[in-house]
């Protein structure tokens, strides 16, 4: 049974199940969801806890199976945690997880908690994951995207009795806060807690937040590509500077940008051949946020514009590999800035 992350607390209040599966990449969200399950388990008498971390292809699952089959020596009930950092339990693990999931039904002496990273759709359709979902509660912990981050911060501030001032100043404060912590929820949580230590409950002004919140943002090359498609020029500039400061390789950043430019050209060509836009996007394996952005942009982009962007991407690819081109900076990061800003501004105009 799948439960949305915000509904997990309500589900735990209605009654504790004997099997929970959490999958997601954000450490804070996974930690908070797991802590909520552990607290509910302790309240129900699951006072003994055993942790198994699956490391390597030759992990011995017999210990996990033995824990699930044995009664606790020191408590009436026990909590067994199985952590699979790779998200790939292997053949033996697949069989073990299916066995554990089936034995969880009606078992009120053992609670099984399985922790996984973000899983692709193929893995979510596997037999072992389907068994976990069928016999217990599955919670997908999606990251908080940049658009939702100000509201997330406001909600966390409210939970500790604080709030930003109303109106435009408050929105500006939340946007500033979000810029400082984007891509790093764990650090964002710590910065919010810091405000509770520095200031009493009540209203927070922009100056108070600006003085307290550190710049702990972490950026991702593929999120940069989404910002470029969204025409978010100032955010693109900030993300490029951040990626360079973090030591990211220009080759990876170029790949993320160029892949979207190639996809735009490919889908545009399919449209010109008579393919409906949704079909062309699916055939090019475009999903989620990128699908929405490209669906909005493609009817407005001329083939000639896309061809120029593709030529520019080829030039920057050469610069990233040490070549020089007239009219382009020799430094790969400056060339990436020029390419990204050209595309972002073109998308913003549309």
Q: How confident is the model at residue 337 (pLDDT cuts 50, 70, 90)?
A: very high
Q: How confident is the model at residue 70 (pLDDT cuts 50, 70, 90)?
A: low
Taking all residues of the chain, what is their mean pLDDT, rounded to a whole number? Answer: 92
pLDDT of residue 349: 84
pTM metric for this prediction: 0.76
Instruction: Write out the two tokens for 280.
Output: 């062309």
pLDDT of residue 109: 86
Q: How confident is the model at residue 75 (pLDDT cuts 50, 70, 90)?
A: low
pLDDT tens by residue, 44-53: 999 889 999 9
pLDDT tens by residue, 77-90: 899 999 999 999 98
C-alpha torsion angle, residues 162, 166, 172, 174 (rounded to 10): 30
pLDDT of residue 223: 92
Which domains are present in the chain? 5-140 (3.40.50.300), 146-212 (1.10.8.60), 221-349 (1.20.272.10)
Contacts of 313-322 with C-beta under 8 Å, sequence gap 24+, read 313/254, 313/257, 313/258, 313/261, 313/262, 313/339, 316/254, 316/257, 316/258, 317/254, 317/258, 320/250, 320/251, 320/254, 321/251
Contact, 112 vs 102, CB < 8 A? no
pLDDT of residue 77: 85
More confidently predicted of 58 and 293: 293
293 pLDDT more than 70 = yes
How many Cα atoms within 13 Å fall on the side-chain side of residue 173? 23
pLDDT of residue 334: 97
57 pLDDT more than 80 = no
Contact, 279 vs 296, CB < 8 A? no
pLDDT tens by residue, 225-281: 999 999 999 999 999 999 999 999 999 999 999 999 999 999 999 999 999 999 999
pLDDT of residue 187: 92
Four-residue CA torsion sign, 268, 270, 273, 277: negative
pLDDT of residue 66: 86
pLDDT of residue 215: 85
pLDDT of residue 317: 96
pLDDT tens by residue, 158-198: 999 999 999 999 999 999 999 999 999 999 999 999 999 99
pLDDT of residue 74: 53
pLDDT tens by residue, 109-155: 899 999 999 998 889 999 999 999 999 999 999 999 999 999 999 99
Q: How confident is the model at residue 32 (pLDDT cuts 50, 70, 90)?
A: very high
pLDDT tens by residue, 294-334: 999 999 999 999 999 999 999 999 999 999 999 999 999 99
């Amino acid at each position: 049974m799948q439960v949305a992350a915000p509904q997990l607390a309500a589900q735990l209040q209605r009654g504790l199940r004997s099997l929970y599966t959490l999958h997601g990449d954000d450490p804070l969200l996974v930690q908070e969801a797991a802590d909520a399950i552990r607290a509910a388990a302790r309240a129900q008498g699951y006072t003994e806890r055993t942790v198994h971390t699956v490391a390597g292809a030759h992990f011995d699952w017999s210990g996990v199976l033995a824990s699930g089959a044995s009664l606790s020596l020191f408590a009436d009930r026990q909590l067994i945690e199985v952590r699979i950092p790779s998200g790939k339990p292997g053949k033996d693990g697949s069989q073990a997880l299916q066995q554990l999931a089936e034995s969880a039904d009606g078992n009120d002496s053992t609670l099984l908690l399985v922790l996984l990273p973000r899983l692709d759709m193929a893995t979510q359709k596997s037999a072992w994951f389907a068994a976990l979902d069928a016999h217990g509660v599955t919670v997908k912990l999606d990251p908080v995207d940049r658009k939702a981050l100000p509201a997330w911060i406001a909600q966390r501030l409210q939970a500790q009795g604080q709030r930003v001032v109303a109106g435009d100043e408050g929105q500006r404060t939340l946007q500033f806060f979000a810029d400082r912590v984007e891509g790093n929820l764990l650090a964002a949580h710590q910065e919010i807690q810091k405000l509770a230590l520095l200031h009493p409950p009540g209203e927070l002004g922009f100056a108070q937040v600006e003085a307290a919140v550190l710049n702990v943002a972490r950026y991702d090359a593929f999120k940069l590509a989404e910002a470029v498609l969204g025409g978010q020029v100032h955010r693109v500039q900030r993300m490029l500077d951040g990626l360079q400061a973090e030591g990211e390789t220009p080759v990876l950043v170029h790949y993320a940008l160029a892949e979207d430019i190639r996809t735009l050209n490919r889908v545009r060509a399919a449209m010109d051949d008579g393919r409906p836009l949704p079909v062309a996007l699916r055939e090019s394996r475009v999903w989620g946020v990128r699908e929405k952005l490209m669906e909005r942009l493609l009817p407005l982009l001329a083939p000639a514009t896309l061809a120029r962007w593709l030529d520019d991407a080829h030039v920057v690819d050469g610069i990233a590999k040490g070549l020089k081109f007239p009219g382009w900076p020799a430094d790969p990061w400056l060339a990436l800035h020029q390419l990204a800003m050209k595309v972002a501004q073109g998308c913003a105009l549309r």
